[in-house]
Structure 1
């Protein structure tokens, strides 16, 4: 199965990582440092080249004529000075492109650098020959300005890539550098984070970052986990609760027993998943790479055809033919194309991580835009996954529902049964219980607030021939709910229904998905009655009930056979076969559970609304990619013929420098457009 193997690969990769604060920062910073170095190199070359370009422009006879200066600035040897300055610009400023030309031809994989390298080489070699005796016209100024524009364009590209990669650096910086380890005598000792081991107890003071994943063994506080899970509200933590390394402690001190460090930590998993997503190739990226290759072939072919046509079929001179050829190759450069998709991928991945979506499989993420159906696991996804009070009924003139719940909850506080825990959780202000007694198999009884209270099953009522409103009971039972009855001083006064409460977020999620034209289907092991009630409440299109875990994958296949692209949304552990069978597997899990999830996409919050947001992001991402591909290549349709000189007889012509400006403008537009990507909620 695709997911299990992916998970093994993922775990194997982790063996190469150590401390998240040091190693992860080093790995996540590796690409960023490389891009930063390249950006600084391009900027340095640009400033030196631009300084040399100014005198080149001044000494250019063509520029002098355009400005109406005549021969006022001309002197013997001025072309030799231009040659020397242009040589520095060509070899120093143009070095990244010349090296790129060599590397691409060595592959062989001609692309953007091939075009730039050929264009500036043709311009330099021809102008040099003219300086040393060949008849013609130099265009050193076109060469210099072309190199300048290419350098600043590449600098902008590097800066854009750096800003998109910065999310990994920020994640790596979340961990503190030291931890307060509690010694046997109760004192604390500050140790570097990489020395932390499992079962160490660490003290986390108010306002400090939690140094590792663990369990609270002492203290009570609220913890801000927003940077980890996307949950903006601080989460209350007490003894026995899990905490995530990198989250920020609130007002109280906590003693935490470490249970995950380094490669096993939640933050380490997140950083690795984000990096995998950013580096993974997508189908759209492959399309862009193929487009860039063919555009290069077309450009070189168009350049050769232009040179041949102007040289042999017109009266124009060789210099003009060469200038048209250079301009064609510059204008057709797939510079922006190489940036169009990767920038959107990087921005969407970072945006997803900030909102609690972790993309492990880019291809599946892109496939999410074509989904026709989403299958939800019921328990823990559409519902809370635990017993809770859904209805409180009162009978026989007793109409105080709060008092009924309080009396029942107070009695149930002595029981560990799931029903008892559900009632206690819904009760405010528990009272003292006296004379507590268990009624074997039928319920419990005791004295609360001076009253004799019994909380019993329907079987107890039948056994003692106690009348009860059967219509209301059957209605609640038909919804798959468990109903218990409350007897006060030997009088039946009410009933409490419990069930797996439907999340309010589920209703909004289903509505949003329906608005996108996506069918919503539920998968559950519960009986038909319970499933039908939940499906009806949420307005689901279909449901499968009484499904065993090993049967879930078959149900996914059944929906796929309807001709629909299917996503499966579940807890990622017991739903692994179904997640693997689905076209897109979406694992829902909260907090540190993310480390054991399996799926193409992981939602760190247990919020079904995020499924709709995720699909909206997938659609928006693809839309941005298509927009960028059009921006990167669309202008070639009219620019290449214009550069070749098809409108020359009408006085419309593009110079190499103007061609470079248009090409660089396309790059800037693509970079800016990618930054406008956002999640439509």
Structure 2
């Protein structure tokens, strides 16, 4: 497939019709016109001349192939220049047309001759000649769309001497199409603002030489220099230097993150003050930012169930209106002694009501705005279908470790029986282990200023822990199963107390007695409790926790974060079964780390992953919280619910105003200008209401 940028793509219904025609060409099957992003995705081997002919018939044109475009967003600037020129031309023509029309009205009051008629026709042609040309071509092909309907209506109006109304309809239709195009372009620009964060060049260090190179030429292992205020060109590791980095392009978080040598950095993030040398770990095309931008760019082209319904409805809507118009023209004069001229006029007005543009526009602007708004908050929604789904979720299931908790065990409580040996023995044995719990123990011991002893012998005992010989004595560090003797009553009481409190135990002992016990826990994320409360406020009815940890630990965490429902001791397949059980009761989202919870994420109606740009996370879930915390989840749900409500409101307005216009035919009150204003009013309202989704972004509100 080849991608091309399109100019002049201002009508969603026209885009759908052109796509259908291109698919009928030889080798054209599978080609797509992406209305929301104004692109053409063309199958290989299609005759380009035929494609361009189809596009030009509806006023669209290819600007430039993606393959020929410059890196980093130059193509988008080029596209915007063309769009701006096209929009300015339309405005000028409409302005000239309006002046001629007003002059014709004045002349019409002074001289009742052919001069005002000529002026009306000139004004109509100036504002509507592209529509007339397309409509005439469509008539010859027996293709009936909005251009065809408008052409028939205007020819009919002029044929019965309605020069003034016919011209007004032509001008208002031109204004309507301009507004439709401007509304969609506003939403597109909001989306394309995200694409501008992509860096274009990098300073490559080769020995003592520094040179500026395009980012697409960078290879894994290259060393680049990033000065203050510059963008980091691709994912990498800090090789030298210290600085704070703004990662908003990746995470949506405005607060800078301090970076030191050996720490990871993301391409597209901005170096704030110091100078960094970064070793590239991924070529730009494989970087987190490139994947995010690609997914965001493609996300708004997935059709939601609502959009699919609207497109199906639009296919039948226009032919139905034509039948109604014919009946309005014929039935009253034949069977009700109506005036042929009056009812012919009413029928022409009904034809204009057949414009489905406002209806088709009711969803895409809202979808694009919602996805862009979430993306700027660091929430990657992979498609409009998932945005719509998020707004319908009533149950959320959370993994515990790394989601509600930080996923980093730490020692919260210790019970020491042998002060002299407890920390020394534990540190001597655990310092050799890379296990997260061992690291937590070492972190605790490091605060005690203890001198370690070197084990003479060390063995791992599966399911129990580690045993070691130190200074001729055998010691063990592990769980209760590692103990080979009977506990004293006090020690047993202490251990049971820690277990009841939900701690994971690390017991240090020799062959006869316990030296002490570490109470290990996973630190609760600071935001978890508040987020759960916000989710309930955002309309979530049920929030549950699923974990493989034992019951007491699960109970402790659930209580701390404010969850009443939790399920413990779950194996991965049991998590999947529990998610299936929840989805049977309502729309369910699963929130996890995107790796260990992949099966459960895939099973839920919606998979939400946390990961701060990790490749597997981006690929696994339907929605990714790039901040690696739950902070923005409530706002994402609020935005999604708002998008869904606005789409429903838009559909109601688009159909409601047309229904009112059609009902005016019953008493014979429908006029041509009322008909066009009903569609124009719907277009304006639908566009403005959809764009309000972006307003909160500027205010910083969800």
TM-score tier (shorter): 0.7 to 0.9
| One of 605, 611, 614 as aligned partner of 1:583 | 605
Query: Aligned residue for 2:20?
Result: none
In the alignment, the residues of structure 1 paired with residue 245 and residue 423 of structure 2 have an alpha-carbon distance, to the nearest angstrom, of 31
1:500 CA displacement = 1.6
Residue deviations 1:472-504 (CA, integer Å, cap 9, x gap) = 5423223542345899xxxx9996522222223
CA contact (8 A) 1:21 1:172 kept: no
Query: Aligned residue for 1:662?
Result: 678
Query: Aligned residue for 2:542?
Result: 519
Of residues 619-628 and 418-427 in structure 1, the stretch that sits farther from structure 2 once superposed is 418-427
CA contact (8 A) 1:505 1:609 kept: yes
CA contact (8 A) 1:18 1:262 kept: no
CA contact (8 A) 1:573 1:596 kept: no
Normalised to the residue count of structure 1, the TM-score between the two structures is 0.79
CA contact (8 A) 2:215 2:284 kept: no
| One of 93, 111, 127 as aligned partner of 1:74 | 111
| One of 668, 671, 678 as aligned partner of 2:687 | 671
- The count of residues paired between Structure 1 and Structure 2 equals 617
RMSD, matched Cα: 4.1
CA contact (8 A) 2:593 2:617 kept: no
Residue deviations 1:340-375 (CA, integer Å, cap 9, x gap) = 111111111111111222222432332333334322
SS at match of 1:370: coil
Residue deviations 1:122-150 (CA, integer Å, cap 9, x gap) = 223x05xxxxxxxxxx2222122212111
CA distance 1:101–1:352, change in 2 (3 Å)? farther
1:385 CA displacement = 1.2
CA distance 1:19–1:593, change in 2 (3 Å)? farther
| One of 126, 131, 149 as aligned partner of 1:97 | 131
Pair 1:554-2:577 in alignment: yes
CA distance 1:494–1:573, change in 2 (3 Å)? closer
In the alignment, the residues of structure 1 paired with residue 494 and residue 257 of structure 2 have an alpha-carbon distance, to the nearest angstrom, of 38
| One of 325, 328, 333 as aligned partner of 2:347 | 325
Pair 1:166-2:183 in alignment: no
Of residues 658-667 and 37-46 in structure 1, the stretch that sits farther from structure 2 once superposed is 37-46
SS at match of 1:376: strand
In the alignment, the residues of structure 2 paired with residue 103 and residue 470 of structure 1 have an alpha-carbon distance, to the nearest angstrom, of 91
CA distance 1:288–1:465, change in 2 (3 Å)? closer
Of residues 88-97 and 265-274 in structure 1, the stretch that sits farther from structure 2 once superposed is 88-97
Query: Aligned residue for 1:351?
Result: 373
1:47 CA displacement = 2.1
Which stretches in structure 2 are left out of the alignment for 5+ residues? 1-40, 45-64, 459-465
Query: Aligned residue for 1:42?
Result: 90
Residue deviations 1:314-350 (CA, integer Å, cap 9, x gap) = 7775543333222233345333212111111111111
| One of 241, 251, 256 as aligned partner of 1:229 | 251
SS at match of 1:58: helix
In the alignment, the residues of structure 2 paired with residue 559 and residue 21 of structure 1 have an alpha-carbon distance, to the nearest angstrom, of 48
1:630 CA displacement = 0.9
| One of 202, 206, 224 as aligned partner of 1:183 | 206
CA distance 1:585–1:20, change in 2 (3 Å)? farther
| One of 479, 490, 499 as aligned partner of 1:477 | 499
| One of 302, 321, 329 as aligned partner of 1:307 | 329
CA distance 1:424–1:207, change in 2 (3 Å)? farther
1:594-673 alignment runs, 5 A limit: 596-642=618-664, 644=665, 646-647=666-667, 653-673=669-689
CA distance 1:579–1:456, change in 2 (3 Å)? closer
Pair 1:337-2:359 in alignment: yes
| One of 262, 274, 280 as aligned partner of 1:240 | 262
CA distance 1:544–1:355, change in 2 (3 Å)? same
Query: Aligned residue for 1:6?
Result: none
Of residues 284-293 and 350-359 in structure 1, the stretch that sits farther from structure 2 once superposed is 284-293
CA distance 1:547–1:466, change in 2 (3 Å)? closer
Pair 1:53-2:101 in alignment: yes
Which stretches in structure 1 are left out of the alignment for 5+ residues? 1-12, 65-72, 128-137, 399-404, 447-453
In the alignment, the residues of structure 2 paired with residue 676 and residue 475 of structure 1 have an alpha-carbon distance, to the nearest angstrom, of 55
In the alignment, the residues of structure 1 paired with residue 686 and residue 221 of structure 2 have an alpha-carbon distance, to the nearest angstrom, of 50
Query: Aligned residue for 1:572?
Result: 594
CA distance 1:86–1:527, change in 2 (3 Å)? same
In the alignment, the residues of structure 2 paired with residue 469 and residue 353 of structure 1 have an alpha-carbon distance, to the nearest angstrom, of 53
In the alignment, the residues of structure 1 paired with residue 303 and residue 626 of structure 2 have an alpha-carbon distance, to the nearest angstrom, of 23
In the alignment, the residues of structure 1 paired with residue 392 and residue 516 of structure 2 have an alpha-carbon distance, to the nearest angstrom, of 50
Query: Aligned residue for 2:23?
Result: none
| One of 118, 133, 141 as aligned partner of 1:84 | 118
In the alignment, the residues of structure 2 paired with residue 212 and residue 574 of structure 1 have an alpha-carbon distance, to the nearest angstrom, of 27
In the alignment, the residues of structure 2 paired with residue 212 and residue 203 of structure 1 have an alpha-carbon distance, to the nearest angstrom, of 12
Higher relative contact order (CA 8 A, sep 6+): 1
CA distance 1:325–1:445, change in 2 (3 Å)? farther
Pair 1:123-2:157 in alignment: yes
SS at match of 2:219: coil
